[in-house]
Amino acid sequence: MALRITKAELPAEVEQELIKQFGAVPEPFAVTAHHPAVARDSSEMGGKVNEWDMADEGLKTFAHMAVAALVGCGWCLDINYFQALNKDLDLTKASQVPRWRESEVFTPLERDVLEYAEAMTHTPPTVTDEQYASLLDRLGEAALVELTASVAFANLATRNNSAHGISSQGFSDACGIPLAARADGRPDGQSGTRPGARPAESGAVPTA
């Protein structure tokens, strides 16, 4: 997949700061920078979402990756796998999210969360009362509200990136375990210069 819009020219100090944080300028930021308010607010929103702490970090990250795999956003799948490394999450599990239904590494709760993320992502959503009640019983009110909002944000980010033609920048190359191919075999397009294997120093990932 190729970008459907040019990258905006960024001030040198902004570009340097992004490279310091991520090893490369994230393409979602480079694209949305054509509208500075959208770029700023998207980054701030992503940062706020990353600050929520009532739900398990692994569940939220895997859920975001499940949305990305379903929508077909290679960039979100890629950056969240990279973030899983920085958050010390189980990389074996993170690598298997694109094929979670066939994988045996996930717990029953993790599988239910991944199924919930997909159900929220379907058009129209296919979340059932039973599915919601089961997660509510095990996670509690605050954690389920946070998980649901996180999945909703993942839908915003993945669909925004996909519409612009933004694809993987190779962030997951820093991870020792290869990211599994999606079960349906759809390829994740690669684009741009691959970033260095640097840990992110900021929680604000632009429209990740």
Q: For the segment 121-179, what is each residue's pLDDT rounded down to a tens digit?
A: 999 999 999 999 999 999 999 999 999 999 999 999 999 999 999 988 888 777 777 77
List pLDDT tens digits, range 78-96: 999 988 988 999 999 999 9
Q: Would you place residue 114 in the very low, low, confident or very high pLDDT band (cuts 50, 70, 90)?
A: very high
35: left (phi over 0), alpha (psi -120 to 50) or beta: beta
Average pLDDT rounded to a whole number, residues 50-59: 97
Name the nearest CA neighbour of 157 among 97, 67, 85.
67
pLDDT of residue 205: 47
Cα–Cα dist 23/119, whole Å: 34
Query: Two tokens at 197?
Result: 């294997």
Percent of the chain with pLDDT over 70: 86
The band of 69, judged by pLDDT with boundaries at 50, 70 and 90, is very high
**136 is written with which tokens?**
């509510």
Reply yes or no on whether the pLDDT at 194 is more than 80. Answer: no
- What's the CA gap between 193 and 202, in Å, rounded? 21
Residue 186 reports pLDDT greater than 60: no
Answer for the pair 114, 197: CB distance below 8 angstroms, yes or no: no
Query: Which carries the bigger pLDDT value, residue 63 or residue 192?
Result: 63
Q: At what angle do helices 36-51 and 141-164 cross, to 10 degrees?
A: 150
Residue of 187, 157, 23, 182 whose CA lies nearest to 103: 182
SS3 23: coil
* Domain architecture of the chain: domains with CATH: 21-174 (1.20.1290.10)
Average pLDDT, the chain: 88
